[in-house]
Chains A and B, each alone.
Chain A
Amino acid sequence: MNQIKKMTSHHLFLPVFALVLLLIFNAFATPGFFSIQIQNGQLFGRIIDILNRASILVILSMGMTFVIATGGIDISQGSVIAISGAVCCSLIGGAGDGTTQMPLLLACVIAVIVCGICGVWNGFLVSKLKIQPMVATLILMTAGRGIAMLITKGQNITVYYKPFTYIGNTIPGSPLPTTIFIAAAMVVLVVLIQKKTSVGMFVQAVGINAEASHRTGLKVTSIIFMVYVFSGMCAGIAGLMESSMIAAADPNNAGLNMELDAILAVALGGTLLTGGKFYIGGSIIGAITIQTLTTTLYALGVSSEQLPVCKAIVVILICLLQSEQFKKMFAGKAEKKAVTQI
C-alpha cells in the first residue's frame, strides 16, 4: 500500500501513466501501431512519426519549463516559431532552381538569434519593467505573426533548396529523422546545465521566493531575463524544424497554438504553473504523451477541428488529478468506504 502511494506521488507518475495508457490503447485500437519497417536503411512507423513530431514540442516545453519555474509564462512561443521560419526561409530564398542565397547553417543560426532577440524583448518587459508575464508575452504573441508577415513580405515562401528539408525530415542515409537528434541534443544540453551548473537551483529559488533570493545574493532580474531568452531560442529551433517539414514559411499557421501544447506538457510533467520546483524529465515525457494523443486521435479519424475538444478533456483530467481539493474529496470517499466496511 505504502509503495503504491510512493509510486503514485512521484512527479513522473502522471505523465508516464498517461503515456502507457495511450500506448496500451493504441496497441489494441490501431493495428500495426508498434510495427517499424526498414526501407533503405531508414526506419518507418507510427512510433517514429510520433517522435518526429514530438521533438518540436519537447524543445518548446523545455524552454517553457524554465519560464514557468520562475512563476512566469511565455505565450509568444507559437508566434516566434513563425518568425523563425520566416527569417530562415527568406534568407535561403525561394529560388525555383533549388539554390540558396546563403549557407544553410548561417541562415539557421541567424533565425535562432532573431528568436533569441524576441526572448530578450519578453525578458526585458518581464524582468526589468515588471510587466505581468502573460501580458508581456501576449504582445509578441499578437505582433509576432505580423512581424513574420513583414519578413516574408506578405507571402508564404516555399523553399526548393533540398538540404533545408533535412532538418525536419531525414538526412539521406540516416536511420532516424533529424528532429529526434536535435531534440536529443537539446535534452543532453539541458541535463548538463542542470547537473553542472546551479541554474536549476537558482531558477527554482526565484520561483519559490524572489525576495529571499534577492537577499541571498541572487541576480533575480537577470535570471528571469535569461529564461525568456532561452525560451525564445527554443522556439527558434522549433520553428526551423516546423518550417523545414513543409519546406516553407507560413506566417499565419506555423506553430499556431503550439505554446498551449507546451504549457500543457509542462503541467502534465508535474511542474506547477505557480512556479518553483520544476521537472524537465516530466515535461519531456509530457510532450511525447501529448503528441501521442494527437496522433492517436488522428488515427481514430478525429478531424483537426474536433481535436481541441478531446485535448480539453485531457486538460480537465490533468487538472483534476493535480488538484489537492479533488484528491481530498477522493480520499474522503475512500475513507468513508473503509469505515463502512469495518
Chain B
Amino acid sequence: MTGQVLLTMRGISKYFPGVRALENVDFTLRAGEVHALMGENGAGKSTLIKVLTGVYPKDGGEILMDGKSISPSSPLEAQKCNISTVYQEVNLCPNLTVAENIFIGREPRKAGRIDWKTINRRAAELLKQLNLEIDVTKTLDNYSVAVQQMIAIARAVDVDAKVLILDEPTSSLDENETSRLFDVVRGLKKQGLGVVFVSHFLDQIYELCDRVTVLRNGELVGAYEIEKLPRVELISKMIGKELGDIQSMGKNDAAERGEVLIEAKGLTAFGRIKDFDLTVHKGEVIGFAGLLGSGRTETAELLFGVAKPEKGTLKLGGSEIRFATPLDAMHHKIAFCPEDRKVQGIIGDLTVRENIIIGLQAKNGMWSHIPMKEQERIAEEYIKLLQIKVSSPEQLIKNLSGGNQQKAIIARWLVTEPNLLILDEPTRGIDIGTKTEIQKMVIRLAREKQMAIIFISSEIDEMTRTCTRLAVLRDRKKVTELSGDEIYPDRVMAAIAGGV
C-alpha cells in the first residue's frame, strides 16, 4: 500500500575537499514503502543519509517533506521534521535500562520529577507493538544486539517519525533476528511510515523492499521497482559493468590436500566451543559455517591465542603448542584477520604503510626496526598486489573506504607470510567488486602458495564458492564436515539448520 509522496530530495550535491560525494541526486520516498538505497562503498549512500539527517550541510539541491522545504542542520532538527535514524552501531547507553533508553532526554514528568511508572509502562507498551515482550527495567546490556536494535527502532518511531532510516541494521544479526526485525519493519510500513533501508545483503533487499534507488560514484543511476529488477541487473547497475566476471568465477574445486599443518583435538573453552576437532592441511580453504554465535569466531580466536582453551590440544607440525598471546601464534606463522575491522583491525590514525608493516614489525620486535626504504617497498608492493585505492601510502587508514581498509589489513597479514590465514568475515560491509576480488585472492593464495585458509562468512554463496571443506558449527559445537560435492548452498543450509 504505497501512498502519496512523503519525502523528496531533488538535485542534492555535496562536496568534500577534492571529492565529489554527491552530484545532483534525486530521491523520492512514499508513505508506506520500504525503499532500499544501494550502491558500492563510496557510492554516496551514507553521505545522502547524512545530508538528510542534518549531519552534513548540503551544497546544493532541496529537500521537501510533505511538500514543505526543510533543511535540518542537526540530527535533532531532522527528528523535529519527523525523520528518525537508527544507525548500524546501536547508539544507546548499555548501562541504562531499556525504558530509560527509550525516553532519555524527553522523560515524562510529574510534579517536576521524573515519572518512572509512566516511563516503564509506556516503554513496555511501545515494545509490545513491536512484538517484543521484555523486562524494560533491566539494563540494555542484558539483551542481544538484535533486541537493542529493535529498542533503537522503538525509540526512533516513538518520536513521531514519518520517515525511518535504517542504516545497515542487519549487519550484526543472524537470520532469526533478521526476520524478527523485518516483521517489525513490515508492521511500521502498514502504519504508513516511509522506511529507507540501507544494506549490503541482496537477499534482504529482495525480501523486504518495494523500491530501490541505486547510486554509483556519487551519482544517481536510477530508482526501480524491486520486483521488476532481476538481481543480476541490480548488481551490474551498482558496479557499472556486466557481471560475467562474478558468475564465471565458479567453484574452488582443488581436490588434492597438502600435508597436515595444524591439528586441533577436543578444544574446549567455556562459552566458546566444545570438543572441537579439526585437521588443517596445506593449500586448503576451510569454511566455518554456522549462524552468528554458533562459535565460529570464538573457535578461530582459540587458534590465534586471543583466548586460551581449557581443554584439548593443538598440534603444529607434530608437536604440541600453546599460544598465550596472538604474538605466539604469529611466531608459528598463523595470521588472523578479525571480524570487527574498526575495533580489532585498523589503527585509524596511523598511515596505510604503518598499518601494513606493523604486523611484521611486531613479529620482529620493536628494536629490530624495518628501515624506512624497506617499509615503503613492502607497502607499495602490497598496495599494488591487492589494488588498494590510496592517494599515497602515507594516507591515514581511517580515511579509506571499508573495502580498502579490509584489503590493507589483509595485506598486513600477508606481509607476515603465514602458513595459516584465518579470515573472519573478510567481506562484511564491503562492496561486491571488492568481495569478488577477496574471494579470488583466497583461492589463489591456497593454490599457488599452498597457504591454508580458514574462511568465516555469513554468506553461504561465498563459502560454497571458495571453500574446499566446510566445518559446520551449531550451538558452539562442530556438528559435521562437508567436502567436495557436498558443498552446495541447500546442503550447507540444511546442515546449519540441523536437518542432516
Contacts and interface: CB of A to CB of B under 8 A. Distances in A.
A196 B377 CA distance: 18
Given A197-B366, A217-B326, A212 B347 contact: yes
Interface in B260-304: 304
B402 interface: no
Contact of A198 (B338, B344, B346, B366): B366
Nearest to B396: A277
A83 B344 CA distance: 41
Given A217-B327, A217-B330, A208 B348 contact: yes
A214 interface: yes
A202 to B, nearest CB: 5
B456 to A, nearest CB: 15
B349 A198 contact: no
Interface in B336-354: 336, 338, 343-350, 354
A204 B343 CA distance: 16
Contact of B366 (A202, A208, A211, A214): A202
A213 B412 CA distance: 12
Given A201-B354, A201-B358, A217-B330, A212 B346 contact: yes
Contacts of B354: 201, 205
Interface string B311-323: 0000000000000
Interface in B37-56: none
A215 interface: yes
B400 to A, nearest CB: 15
Contacts of A216: 326, 347, 358-359, 362, 412
B65 interface: no
B402 to A, nearest CB: 15
B367 interface: yes
B369 interface: yes
Interface in A209-238: 209, 211-219, 223
A276 interface: yes
Contact of B343 (A198, A209, A223): A209
Contacts of B343: 209, 211-212
A217 B359 contact: yes
Given A215-B326, A217-B362, A208 B369 contact: no
B100 to A, nearest CB: 26
A102 B296 CA distance: 64
B483 interface: no
A329 B366 CA distance: 42
Contacts of A215: 304, 306, 326, 336, 338, 344-345
A208 B349 contact: yes
Interface string B156-177: 0000000000000000000000
Contact of A197 (B347, B348, B369): B369
A165 B350 CA distance: 44
Nearest to A203: B366
Contacts, number: 71
Chain A, interface SS category = helix
A199 interface: yes
B313 to A, nearest CB: 23
Contacts of A211: 343-344
Nearest to A272: B349
Contacts of B362: 202, 216-218
Contacts of B304: 215
Contact of B347 (A196, A199, A205, A219): A205
B326 A209 contact: no
A208 B344 CA distance: 11
B138 interface: no
B347 A209 contact: yes
B57 to A, nearest CB: 11
Contact of A205 (B336, B344, B358, B369): B358
A146 B350 CA distance: 42
Contacts of B97: none
A215 B300 CA distance: 13
Contacts of A201: 350, 354, 358, 361
Nearest to A276: B349
A277 B336 CA distance: 26
A202 B369 CA distance: 11
B350 A219 contact: no
Given A196-B369, A208-B350, A217 B363 contact: yes
B327 A219 contact: yes
B311 to A, nearest CB: 24
Contacts of A199: 366
Interface in B466-481: none
A262 to B, nearest CB: 23
B347 A208 contact: yes
Contacts of B412: 216
B345 A212 contact: yes
Contacts of A214: 325-326
Interface in A256-285: 276-277
Interface string B352-376: 0010001101110011011000000
Contacts of A196: 369
A219 B366 CA distance: 10
B179 to A, nearest CB: 32
Nearest to B328: A217
A338 to B, nearest CB: 15
A272 to B, nearest CB: 10
A214 B326 CA distance: 7
Interface in B405-453: 412
A331 to B, nearest CB: 12
Contacts of A208: 347-350
Most chain B beta-carbon contacts within 10 A, residue among A197, A205, A217 = A217
A213 B358 CA distance: 9
Interface string A30-72: 0000000000000000000000000000000000000000000
Interface in A70-108: none
Contacts of B347: 204-205, 208-209, 212-213, 216
Given A217-B327, A276-B349, A197 B367 contact: yes
Contacts of A213: 347
A322 to B, nearest CB: 16
A199 B362 CA distance: 10
Contacts of A277: 349
A212 B366 CA distance: 17
Given A215-B338, A216-B358, A204 B366 contact: no
Most chain A beta-carbon contacts within 10 A, residue among B343, B348, B358, B370 = B358
A270 to B, nearest CB: 13
Nearest to B359: A216
Contacts of B325: 214, 217, 219
A212 to B, nearest CB: 5
Contact of A204 (B306, B349, B367): B349
Those 3 A-B pairs whose CB atoms lie nearest each other, nearest first: A217-B362, A217-B327, A198-B366
Given A201-B361, A202-B362, 15 more contacts: A196-B369, A197-B366, A197-B369, A209-B343, A212-B346, A214-B326, A215-B304, A216-B359, A217-B359, A217-B363, A218-B327, A218-B358, A219-B325, A223-B366, A277-B349
15 contacts: A198-B366, A201-B354, A204-B347, A205-B358, A208-B348, A209-B346, A209-B348, A212-B344, A215-B306, A215-B336, A217-B326, A217-B327, A217-B362, A219-B325, A219-B327
